[in-house]
């Protein structure tokens, strides 16, 4: 048997192309996701939504991106300039790193590490630093209050998300995302965790600072929160990072609770559809729920948000974790 060993420059180029193949479609998906959100919200509120740029408004994301790219960046004179410019880049980079271990289909993952879940939450915990740096470096009271709210909210609800994920991981004994999907090969394996899917998704809303938990960006109180001083590409990076985070949490909901790329029922008509299509449909469903909640549910008060996390979700997630542990061991 003849084996071929690739040269180092070629391997570096191949790895770069592989990562570019994940990053570029993700950027396009984020831009189209903004159009979808505006169209769905307009339909729910009996409006037309974007319809002026391109046929039925399909080129509106391109126009928005071009507008942000050509705008002049405004730099506050009292800000810490290096930290002010580094914060959105750090946030954007961390949102990209998630996708190195998230499979989008059977065998379609950049790094199939056995500690995929651990890597996701380690990187997620670092996302607080970008927001804190942005609020601190802006030297604005609104931005500072927004970053404090966001940090407290993200750290609080990461604890609940971690407990829910531990509850799912415990019966299978693996932290690899592809393995967790294969363990859900039948519908019977998905039923026991269906009740905590609701709890997990509500925590995802708080983790991504989305309505009704968008307190760090409350327009009536903080104007725009931690990114109030940002414009041009700095604001665009925060914007892209937030939407990537939503797609990431929707992908986790699909992988951990709905079987990822596995069909809902293991019968002939469903097996003909490729696994990547199933994963995309499930992820799109959760993204639609994000929009639906934003359109229909009013914003929480901040004290109610923290009370919900510490006095309701924490006991529920702990109780579920110990029940599963007792049943397993």
Give per-residue pLDDT as tens, 183-197.
Answer: 887 766 677 787 888
Residues in CB range of 320: below 8 A, 6 or more apart: 163, 164, 167, 195, 196, 199
Q: What single DSSP character describes residue 50?
A: S
Name the residue with tokens 């979808």. Answer: 36
Give per-residue pLDDT as tens, 224-247.
Answer: 778 888 888 888 888 888 888 888
The model's confidence at residue 22, banded by pLDDT at 50, 70 and 90, is low
- Among 179-183, 190-194, 306-310, whose mean pLDDT is lowest? 190-194
The DSSP result for 177-209, as a single string, is: HHHHHHTT-SGGGTGGGHHHHHHHHHHHHHHTT
What is the predicted pLDDT for the residue at 95?
Answer: 83
For residues 130 and 162, the answer to whether their CB atoms sit within 8 Å is no
Query: b/e for 200-235, b at 16 or more Cβ within 10 A?
Result: bbbbbbbbbbbbbbbbbbbeeebebbbbbbbebbbb
Residue closest to 33 by CA, chosen among 215, 245, 224, 213: 245
Residues in CB range of 63: below 8 A, 6 or more apart: 53
Higher pLDDT, 285 or 125: 285
Task: Please give the C-alpha separations between residue 133 and each of 23, 82, 127, 128, in angstroms, as whole numbers.
Answer: 25, 10, 10, 9
* Burial status of residue 11 (CB atoms within 10 A of its CB: 0-12, 13-18, 19 or more): exposed
Q: What is the distance between the alpha carbons of residues 69 and 231, in angstroms, rounded to a whole number?
A: 10
Q: What does the block give as tokens for 6?
A: 């690739």
SS3 135: helix
CA 217 to chain centre: 17
Task: Please give the C-alpha separations between residue 31 and each of 58, 271, 282, in angstroms, as whole numbers.
Answer: 10, 31, 19
pTM metric for this prediction: 0.87
Residue closest to 37 by CA, chosen among 60, 54, 53, 55: 60
289 pLDDT above the threshold of 90: yes
Helices 275-296 and 194-207: crossing angle, nearest 10°? 60
For residues 160 and 309, the answer to whether their CB atoms sit within 8 Å is yes
Length of the chain: 329
Q: What does the block give as tokens for 136?
A: 């601190």
What is the predicted pLDDT for the residue at 286?
Answer: 93
Q: What is the distance between the alpha carbons of residues 274 and 261, in angstroms, rounded to a whole number?
A: 8
pLDDT average, residue stretch 29-51: 86
The model's confidence at residue 290, banded by pLDDT at 50, 70 and 90, is very high
pLDDT average, residue stretch 46-57: 86
Name the residue with tokens 């397993």. Answer: 328
Three-state SS across 210-226? CCCCCHHHCHHHHCCHH
List for the chain the helix, strand, coil content (%; round to 5).
70, 0, 30
Q: What angle do CA 137, 153, 156 make, to 5 degrees?
A: 125
2 pLDDT above the threshold of 80: no
């Amino acid at each position: 048997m003849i084996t071929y060993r690739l040269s180092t420059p070629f391997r570096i180029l191949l790895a770069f192309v592989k990562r570019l193949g994940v990053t570029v479609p993700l950027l396009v998906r984020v831009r189209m996701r903004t159009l979808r959100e505006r169209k769905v919200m307009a339909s729910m509120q009996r409006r037309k939504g974007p319809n002026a740029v391109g046929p039925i408004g399909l080129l509106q994301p391109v126009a928005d991106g071009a507008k942000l790219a050509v705008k002049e960046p405004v730099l506050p004179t009292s800000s810490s300039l290096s930290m002010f410019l580094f914060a959105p880049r750090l946030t954007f980079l961390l949102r990209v790193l998630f996708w190195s271990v998230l499979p989008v289909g059977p065998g379609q993952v950049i790094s199939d590490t056995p500690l995929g879940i651990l890597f996701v939450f380690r990187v997620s915990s670092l996302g607080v630093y970008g927001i804190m740096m942005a609020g601190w470096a802006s030297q604005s009271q609104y931005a500072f209050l927004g970053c404090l709210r966001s940090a407290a909210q993200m750290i609080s609800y990461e604890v609940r998300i971690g407990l829910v994920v531990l509850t799912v991981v415990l019966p299978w004994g693996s932290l690899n995302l592809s393995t967790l999907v294969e363990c859900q090969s039948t519908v019977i394996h998905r039923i026991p965790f269906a009740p905590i899917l609701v709890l997990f998704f509500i925590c995802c809303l708080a983790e991504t600072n989305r309505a009704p938990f968008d307190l760090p960006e409350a327009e009536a109180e903080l104007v725009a929160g931690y990114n109030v001083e940002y414009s041009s590409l700095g604001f665009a990076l925060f914007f892209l990072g937030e939407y990537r985070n939503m797609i990431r949490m929707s992908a986790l909901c699909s992988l951990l609770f709905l079987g990822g790329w596995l069909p809902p029922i293991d019968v002939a008509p469903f097996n003909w559809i490729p696994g990547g299509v199933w994963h995309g449909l499930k992820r799109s469903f959760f993204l639609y729920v994000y929009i639906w909640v934003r359109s229909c549910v009013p914003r929480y008060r901040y004290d109610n948000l923290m009370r919900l996390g510490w006095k309701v979700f924490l006991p529920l997630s702990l109780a579920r974790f110990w029940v599963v542990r007792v049943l397993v061991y």
